[in-house]
Amino acid sequence: MNQTINATQVRNQFTEIINRILYKGEEFIVEKKGKPVAKIIAIQEEIKEKKEFKPPIYNMGGAKNTFSRDEIYD
């Protein structure tokens, strides 16, 4: 649901854009000279994305599935 707008539009229509983000849940990609430079989203979405992030868990305590020497060399 991302919409692309240029920086001039953001400056000229800031209140309208903020209201669309807040009340309609819209998201905007801001471009400057034709290149994307920013994304404007509701702060609740940012908080939700950060809560959903789960860093990888590495097994630092050694292997849980251990095999005997005889099982390995069979």
Rounded Cα distance, 5 and 21, in Å: 13
Expressed as residue numbers, the domain containing 33 is 1-45
Residue 15 falls inside a structural domain: yes
Q: Is the pLDDT of residue 73 over 60?
A: yes
pLDDT in tens, 44-69: 766 666 676 666 666 555 556 666 77
Q: What is the pLDDT, as a whole number, of residue 58?
A: 62
pLDDT exceeds cutoff 70 at 32: yes
> Does residue 70 surpass a pLDDT of 90?
no
Percent of the chain clearing pLDDT 70 (strictly above)? 66
* CA 35 from centroid of its chain's CA atoms: 19
- Residue 68 in any domain: the answer is no
In a domain, 71, yes or no: no
Domain total for the chain? 1
Above 70 in pLDDT, residue 28? yes
**CATH code for position 4:** 3.40.1620.10
> Is 11 part of any domain?
yes
Q: Both tokens of residue 23?
A: 């009340």
Cα separation, 35 vs 3, whole angstroms? 14
Which residues, in sequence order, are bridge partners of residue 67?
none
